[in-house]
């Protein structure tokens, strides 16, 4: 399972196998599914415990939960202005190149403007901030 930083966790799910005599997952009770604590970019163990089912011996295969960097696009017009058609940010697929530190994006505005570009790292700290004058 994967999520991006600053999102809620998706529902953690499990799969079952090995049932006999037309039995299925509904005979299992008490299963607890949780992941290791943490919200930083990285991987976390998904832990299973507590499951019981009559006439079955249960073994678990833990999973891995990943938190990845996200590409957030946020456009908010300055106070007192209108958000006009054509205003927005276009970001190329997977824009951050870790090896070079480069990211590719385009800012599109309906008329010449000053745009503040702010880039945050995975922990939410500002790593780049600059006012850029655009042309229409």
Question: How many domains are contained in the chain?
Answer: 2
Residue 59 structural domain: 2-68
Give the burial class of 67: count Cβ atoms within 10 A of its Cβ; 0-12 exposed, 13-18 middle, 19 or more buried. Answer: buried
Higher per-residue confidence, 136 vs 63: 63
> In this predicted model, what pLDDT tens digit does every residue of 36-53 receive, in sequence order?
998 887 889 999 999 999
- Extended strands (E) in 69-125: 88-91, 105-108, 114-120
Query: Rounded CA gap, 84 and 39, in Å?
Result: 36
**Residue 20 within any structural domain of the chain:** yes
pTM: 0.49
Residue 13 is predicted with a pLDDT of 87
**Residue 104 within any structural domain of the chain:** yes
- 49 and 101 together in one domain: no
> In this predicted model, what pLDDT tens digit does every residue of 79-115 receive, in sequence order?
444 444 445 565 555 556 666 667 677 666 667 777 7
**Residue 74 within any structural domain of the chain:** no
Query: Rounded CA gap, 88 and 119, in Å?
Result: 16
Query: Rounded CA gap, 117 and 128, in Å?
Result: 8
């Amino acid at each position: 399972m994967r999520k991006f930083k600053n999102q809620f966790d998706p529902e953690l799910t499990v799969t079952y196998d090995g049932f006999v005599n037309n039995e299925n997952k509904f005979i299992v009770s008490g299963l607890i599914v949780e992941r290791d604590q943490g919200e930083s970019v990285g991987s976390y163990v998904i832990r299973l415990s507590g499951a019981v089912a009559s006439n079955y011996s249960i073994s678990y295969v833990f999973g891995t939960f990943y938190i990845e960097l996200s590409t957030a696009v946020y456009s908010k017009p300055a106070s007192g202005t209108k958000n006009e058609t054509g205003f927005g940010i276009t970001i190329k697929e997977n824009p951050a190149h870790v090896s070079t530190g480069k990211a590719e994006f385009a800012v599109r505005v309906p008329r010449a403007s000053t745009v503040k570009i702010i880039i945050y790292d995975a922990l939410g700290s500002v790593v780049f901030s600059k006012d850029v004058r655009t042309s229409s």
